[in-house]
Structure 1
Amino acid sequence: MSNGTSIRQEADVILIGAGIMSATLGVMLKTLQPELTIEIFERLDVVAAESSDAMNNAGTGHSAFCELNYTPQLNDGTVDITKAIKIAEQFEISKEFWSFLIENKLIPSAENFITKVPHMSFVWGDDNVNYLKKRHEALSKHHFFKEMQYSEDNALLKEWIPLVMEGRDVNEKVSATKMDLGTDVNFGSLTNSLFNWLKLQPGVNMSLLHEVRDIKRKGTNWNVRVRDLTNRLSHKVKAKFVFVGAGGGALPLLQKSGIPESKGFGGFPVSGEWLVCDNPEIIKKHQAKVYGKASVGSPPMSVPHLDTRMINGTKALLFGPYAGFSTRFLKKGSLLDLFKSIKLNNLYPLIKAGLDNIPLTRYLIGQVTQSQNDRLAALRDYYPQAKSEDWKLEIAGQRVQVIKKDPKLGGVLEFGTEVVTAADGSIAALLGASPGASTSVPIMVQLIERCFKDQVKTAEWQEHLKKMIPSYGQSLAKNPELSAETRDRTTKILAIG
């Protein structure tokens, strides 16, 4: 870690924020072009503490196996699996890169960050059971999901998920799907491993407790003003390329850059909380990530799930997340963050998106005013015999959902990730949330293709990209043979078979 004295006045690349996105991009760029100089700035005193740390996200290797919000039912009754296929492919690409890192000893063994945990969807009631059956029928026709199991048999479901079935009304109609290839990912651990490798590379400096206060264009470069939070001294660093991967803090910094592409973007902050089980006997009985259907008006990040987690080598059991609202864009941000982000160029999209999402507002108000009994009632939908004394409430991460201009609606609230880049590719920012971390690798590949167009075309970079991601330039979604070969290889290397 730098104390500020070794910060360069000029660098090839500046990475703002020490989370999974900056870590992934930094390792990729340093692998593609080892002579690059890189400065990394993080406002907290440790890496991965804002969004990437295990307790700040679901830890689900998002591959659309269990997340029902990725497979909406259309008005004609059919289930649209388009988004599910895209997300499944993106996670396969992430696994390819992580396998490259392990094979080449850039990071320690896979068990430090990824664990095999079955992914399941669980629903009850006639309408939901019919939907899940249609979803299974649609997904299982595609090679990404051909191993997905479906059951309405209570006896089999008791074997799969005993906690979920114990104490449940035997006459209640329920169903579930199961994918054994599911994973739990500790993105905090992975982020630390990536930065540990980066810090050992020549030309790379990491400065913790350093907050970026301003970004201004100067000719073909960017001037970044950084404040050392320890001694209150400021530094100016000039860079050819800047990546703003600062989680909820990315939007205000993007706005300060003044690039035309930032106009019209706004943010809607949503906080979260988990119920965490502290009874070892109960934790032992559950071995799955069980996702249900979201409440009407709730954001996708609030889809309820009862999750087996591996956190720092210890098995854990979490339920949630329970959504909340705060005007902060970061867990340790300012209550004025939301208000400061409102500009003339995004005011109309913000108003329009707000008017179109009144059910979301009502939902968040309901979540904020919940009691422990209310939270326990939600848990009992998934674990009927849950007792209050076995669970404690813990704070999860803070997310800022993207609001952007829309030619027809004026403004829309997006639930996903959005990469905003300048026309010349000299600056890029990542906005939004889930499935973010799981798809960090393909997102950063796309960013590199946008921002380093000339270099990507060279034989050297093409060769490196294909080493990092063997399927690069090909479609896993459209090539069952390549997909099977890729999945078999990464499953073996990552030890998730």
Structure 2
Amino acid sequence: MATNKVDVLLVGGGVMSATLGTLLSKLDPSLRLTMVERLDHVAHESTDGWNNAGTGHAGYCELNYTPENAQGEVEINRALAINANFEVSLQLWSSLIATGDLPVPSNFINPTPHMSFVWGEKNVAFLRERHEKLSAHHLFKDMEYSEDHEVLRQWMPLVMENRGADDKVAATRVAYGSDVDFGSLTRNLVASLQKSEQFDLLLSHEVANLEQTKDGRWDVRLKNRVSGKSVAINAGFVFLGAGGGALPLLQKSGIPESNGYGGFPVSGQWLVCQDEATVKRHYAKVYGKAAIGAPPMSVPHLDTRIINGKPALLFGPYAGFTTKFLKEGSKLDLIKSVRVNNLLPMMDVGVNNMDLTKYLIGEVMQSHEDRVKSLREYFPGADAGKWTLAHAGQRVQIIKKDASGRGKLEFGTELVASQDGSLAALLGASPGASVAAQAMIEVIERCFKDRMDGGWNARLKELVPSYGESLVNDADLLGRIRPNTLSTLGLLRA
């Protein structure tokens, strides 16, 4: 069996691999890149438009990014970091539009106001404090706040429908929020990569084995899922960007840095409305507060979506429990991921999160009427007959050892890289695809250190003008960059 020698092997045909491949091809067009995807087309798992919220996560509306501390004070640092990271994605996409690597922005991103909506005295006080703190920072200076019913009816007519004049409600709005079809974005990035003779795409192939050689490279054996034939690849660098499938592959690599990691799979479901008259009456992403005991990714929201050019409304997500790590995965995924080095952390998480497990199972057992009841908290006049259930993608939350060696469950994303920089994996979910550009820049910084001073720093600065500087700390820098990206991407609605 002949061995194909490549510089970079990208495992997974989602937005992360597509973004990393795009960045590397821009930094050094001579690099030989191969992308391998286990399904018959790219962007079909978590990256697919129907498998994620499509929110350009910028911290504008997501209340779980601004938790209350032990003293009951609203913390905004995570929202600031996420907002700055999303700005990096906007800059990269703008640059790729200019170079012709991406099509007109409406093909994958559309202006969709981001709003937070709450009711009840306590929640209104929380949102008021959140707005005061965020709007005082230059990243969020354009955030609006209102408790006025008439204003809120203009912002979100469906949400305010049939609400009493005495109802205590409040909302915030950022007009230039976005809806992102990450599936379309990824397909366009891959199509652009395919124009180069230095890029190969292997569909319907999965990684059967990977082993590091004495010279630090990786021998990877792929299996064609259609013919059963094997393909051998020798790669200088391997990126595991396979969503929920990244953890099992990381474990197969055997790198010491993988020890102790486990996964907690969570499924998701949406209520979807494609009734044209209803869809036309709502144009926003409206996020609320998660129910007590719900995981952070289950924050309810009523969203305008534009997927493959067609508008729809989504409400949810309704979380659920599954042992699969991928939507097109196996029910044995969770069991197969158990190792001696992660058994204790996984048991700890299982024992300490029984309430979460019961909540997820309860979500699965809900009837259509139960789900519509939740929907009516955000859309009181919802017609149950116009909403259908759709299944979203899988999310595998990170289980890892804490400082004492016990287990803890985390709901963010984490980059795991080998000490020699020859292999990296991205684990976790939120905020995920929205910050793909920043996440993949971090992969490059950690795994291609020797190339950064050889011109890559300067080239990254061309692709992402804020690179090497802080958008959180530098208001003037944001003032120079944000107007350009909003204009280029068509996010400034007339």
TM-score range, shorter chain: over 0.9
Tell me how far 1:28 sits from its aligned partner. 0.5
**Pairing 1:401–2:405 present:** no
Residue by residue over 1:218-264, the C-alpha shift from the partner in whole angstroms, topping out at 9 and shown as x without a partner, is: 11111111001121101111111000011111000000000000000
Residue by residue over 1:297-323, the C-alpha shift from the partner in whole angstroms, topping out at 9 and shown as x without a partner, is: 211111100000111111111101111
Tell me how far 1:358 sits from its aligned partner. 2.3
TM-score, normalisation: structure 2: 0.98
TM-score, normalisation: structure 1: 0.97
Matches within 5 A, 1:98-497: 98-219=93-214, 220-408=216-404, 410-458=406-454, 460-497=455-492
Residue by residue over 1:472-496, the C-alpha shift from the partner in whole angstroms, topping out at 9 and shown as x without a partner, is: 1000110001101110110111111
- Residue 20 (structure 1) aligned to one of 4, 15, 18: 15
**Pairing 1:55–2:57 present:** no
Letter in 1 for 2:168: K
Residue by residue over 1:97-128, the C-alpha shift from the partner in whole angstroms, topping out at 9 and shown as x without a partner, is: 00010011111111111100000000011110
Bigger Cα displacement from structure 2, 102-111 vs 438-447: 102-111
Structure 2 CA distance, aligned partners of 1:403 and 1:295?
22
Contact residue 274 and residue 311 of structure 2 kept, 8 A: no
Structure 1 CA distance, aligned partners of 2:322 and 2:410?
18
Stretches of structure 1 that go unaligned for 5 or more consecutive residues are none
Structure 1 CA distance, aligned partners of 2:250 and 2:466?
32
SS of 2:269's partner is strand
Structure 1 CA distance, aligned partners of 2:422 and 2:70?
43
Structure 1 CA distance, aligned partners of 2:396 and 2:448?
27
Contact residue 13 and residue 36 of structure 1 kept, 8 A: yes
Hey, what does 2:41 align to over in structure 1?
Answer: 46
Letter in 2 for 1:304: P
Contact residue 321 and residue 357 of structure 2 kept, 8 A: no
SS of 1:268's partner is strand
SS of 2:140's partner is coil
**Pairing 1:34–2:33 present:** no
Hey, what does 1:70 align to over in structure 2?
Answer: 65
Tell me how far 1:386 sits from its aligned partner. 0.8
Structure 1 CA distance, aligned partners of 2:383 and 2:480?
45
Structure 2 CA distance, aligned partners of 1:454 and 1:95?
27
Contact residue 296 and residue 359 of structure 1 kept, 8 A: no
Bigger Cα displacement from structure 2, 295-304 vs 444-453: 295-304
Residue by residue over 1:163-213, the C-alpha shift from the partner in whole angstroms, topping out at 9 and shown as x without a partner, is: 001112332211100010100000000000100011111221101001111
SS of 2:20's partner is helix
Bigger Cα displacement from structure 2, 150-159 vs 72-81: 72-81
Structure 1 CA distance, aligned partners of 2:70 and 2:446?
36
Letter in 2 for 1:163: L
**Pairing 1:84–2:57 present:** no
Tell me how far 1:346 sits from its aligned partner. 0.4
Structure 1 CA distance, aligned partners of 2:422 and 2:405?
30
SS of 2:138's partner is coil
Contact residue 328 and residue 335 of structure 1 kept, 8 A: yes
Contact residue 352 and residue 409 of structure 1 kept, 8 A: no
Structure 2 CA distance, aligned partners of 1:132 and 1:189?
34
Structure 1 CA distance, aligned partners of 2:3 and 2:426?
24
Structure 2 CA distance, aligned partners of 1:406 and 1:487?
38
Tell me how far 1:8 sits from its aligned partner. 5.7
Structure 1 CA distance, aligned partners of 2:335 and 2:160?
46
Structure 2 CA distance, aligned partners of 1:8 and 1:323?
43
- Indicate how the Cα distance of structure 1 residues 237 and 409 shifts in structure 2: closer, same or farther if over 3 A, else same: closer
Structure 2 CA distance, aligned partners of 1:213 and 1:372?
40
Contact residue 278 and residue 392 of structure 1 kept, 8 A: no
Tell me how far 1:409 sits from its aligned partner. 6.8
Tell me how far 1:75 sits from its aligned partner. 2.4
SS of 2:100's partner is coil
Letter in 1 for 2:122: D
Residue by residue over 1:10-47, the C-alpha shift from the partner in whole angstroms, topping out at 9 and shown as x without a partner, is: 11110000000000000111111111111111000110
Residue by residue over 1:292-351, the C-alpha shift from the partner in whole angstroms, topping out at 9 and shown as x without a partner, is: 001112111111000001111111111011111110101111110000001110011111
Tell me how far 1:278 sits from its aligned partner. 2.6
Structure 2 CA distance, aligned partners of 1:244 and 1:378?
37
Residue by residue over 1:345-383, the C-alpha shift from the partner in whole angstroms, topping out at 9 and shown as x without a partner, is: 001111112222222112102101100111001000000
Letter in 1 for 2:72: G
Stretches of structure 2 that go unaligned for 5 or more consecutive residues are none
